[in-house]
A and B are shown apart, each in its own frame.
Chain A
């Protein structure tokens, strides 16, 4: 034990470690407004995307003095139960993702019937109205895919590879469909997103098999980094674009290893969902004029990365 302690002392102060005493205060806490808002998502634990949704929601809750209850389950049935739980515990408002609208319709209906306002976020843009949900904050996956496809088509893309890192995900398939609508010769590739080494070697194999691939469309930030590794190992000249952002991909955009990122601004999704519920409860407001409020696609590229990078490092973008 003493030895370990000695080693720790001796080797302390390594480069690149935690920055001590980080600046914590951002925004002032509002007075306690007395509202309780439940946010329920289909987050698969371990996806950094949801960290940002949650960070946004928590900041909004702090600003408005709302008590935020966050829960999540990737399984549609269990997510429905979580919504039901929120109704039973008589929360004042519910923000939920609607990735599987039909499975959630029943629970959402009990909520609206009980007079609890429900807003949708992130997924369900085509179905939220049908379910009686009043507002929606998110991006349109197909439209985002199309926008990305049009942009790379303008840059001369002929044969992009769209990398699906989660089997059977509707929203990922929709993004690839969007890209394909702009560049017809788009090919999909399924990889095991839970194993970085497997992603790299699968991409490497694909690039070797088909040298005509000129763009790699990554649908999640970590996959873009794996794509970079795969490119290094071969002699492919394919360019990388990605959906979503994290610190490393933002740095990649800055360094030019990643062309651009299509950001759907998860922080804003969480932030707006809670804030709009608060305003609805407090002041009867609604946002969007009956239309979905689009938080994306927002392009992050060499031109604006300088402004955005600090926010990414802060975990808010």
Chain B
């Protein structure tokens, strides 16, 4: 009990009741932060509370959030996937190449998702098949996948996507609700159900808390992990379709550095970077917070570096506050 605070990853295991409360407070905290940022932005800029402006702002985070849902599951299971941004680049390059051959929109979507799945399979096989650490494997494939698109494209760009393809990144389902935002909401529900309401979700938590115990409890660890890497690959493919459609072109530098923004989103959402805990609502809130901060600061023409500093501080405080709060509680209890 006394050494519990030294390794936070064990807390949910041993102190189920308190662990649940801490998680709850984590999301409440995020919700408070999100509301505060929303109000702050509304007061600071007369342009913030405009449905169309807010709709435009959602594009700042929707694509990253799609990947963040799958990434959350991977991180909860105790692994990480740093190759997602490079999968976007490779999938986009493949789609761009296909466009030059005259392929139409449905086939382009299939190619985007297909390349994502293939990349996810490569990661999954190396990690679960050969038992290599995921951080090493995905740092490797991060260079590999983007390297391939650099070989294909060099300093060139693929353009000329069909008109109908533009809908994924620029189209609206109803009124101000873009296709991307609708997809974001749908995926949030799907991943929320998958993680919190299914046996698969329980298995993910079990693996993240204690892989050996999970294995001996009959959880098929390798299979679950393989599926998780397939999912991040698939989501990266999906994000690639949306981003490529939004940009209307492909360059090998597309989505450069996004893997860290996705991981930031997940960790800000309260997912333990060491695995074992975290929720989808937390990630949704984190996505909204990051999107609103970026947009709100943009409206005030605050230089981008200030935004990075703000997100960094937010990240540290959101992680530090529950731990500090828990310590304070324990001290009071004694």
Q: Do A and B come from one complex?
A: no
A residues near B, CB below 8 A?
none
